[in-house]
């Protein structure tokens, strides 16, 4: 459990917020949970809710809204392609479809080797540089802009070797 393993880190995080506003620590605590478990489990959502004294549905709404959090097991490298309307107008939908086809998955699926999950997300704040995607993995988040399927595949080949 997070509270046992990360007690001092949780206390340090909570100390940054007024006692009556500790719900504001939801995002750093979710990040901690995702780092620990690989994704935000239902138990982790409950634990974060308990720590912050809020309802689990409030925690779940944060997980569901932000593309930085995911509530399901994903590949080692989480490839998130922006498919919002401005990016779609620059070819993001076709890019995502072709990238998935190249790796033998559908949008939202994980490759057979569990290296990559490719999904569509809304707004990564680079509309003028679409098609683009971000990679989430143990190293953090990295953005790749003005992509082609070939350039994205090269990025993924490098990541697969790590």
Delineate the domains of the chain, giving CATH numbers in brackets.
2-65 (1.10.10.1590), 77-160 (3.40.30.10)
Q: What pLDDT does residue 1 have?
A: 86
> 142 by DSSP, 3-state: which?
strand
Q: What pLDDT does residue 66 have?
A: 87
Evaluate if residue 151 carries a pLDDT over 90. Answer: yes
Hey, what are 106's tokens? 């559908």
How many Å is the maximal CA-CA distance in the chain?
51
Evaluate if residue 5 carries a pLDDT over 90. Answer: yes
> 82 by DSSP, 3-state: which?
strand
Mean pLDDT of the chain: 94
Average pLDDT of 94-117? 96
Evaluate if residue 73 carries a pLDDT over 90. Answer: no
Distances (CA, A) of 1 to 18, 55, 69: 24, 18, 19
Average pLDDT of 2-17? 95
Distances (CA, A) of 41 to 51, 71, 125, 139: 15, 6, 27, 21
The structure's pTM equals 0.75
> Which residue has tokens 């309802």?
55
């Amino acid at each position: 459990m997070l509270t046992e393993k990360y007690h001092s880190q949780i206390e340090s995080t909570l100390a940054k917020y007024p006692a009556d506003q500790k719900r504001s620590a939801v995002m750093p605590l979710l990040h901690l949970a995702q780092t620990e478990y690989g994704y935000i489990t239902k138990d982790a959502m409950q634990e974060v809710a308990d720590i912050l004294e809020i309802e689990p549905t409030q925690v779940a709404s944060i997980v569901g809204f932000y593309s930085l959090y995911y509530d399901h097991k994903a590949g080692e490298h989480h490839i998130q392609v922006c498919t919002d309307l401005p990016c779609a107008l620059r070819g993001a939908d076709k890019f995502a479809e072709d990238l998935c086809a190249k790796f033998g998955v559908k949008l939202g699926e994980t490759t057979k080797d569990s290296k990559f999950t490719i999904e569509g997300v809304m707004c990564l704040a680079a509309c003028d540089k679409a098609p683009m995607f971000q990679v989430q993995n143990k190293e953090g988040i990295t953005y790749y802009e003005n992509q082609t399927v070939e350039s994205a595949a090269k990025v993924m080949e490098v990541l697969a070797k790590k």
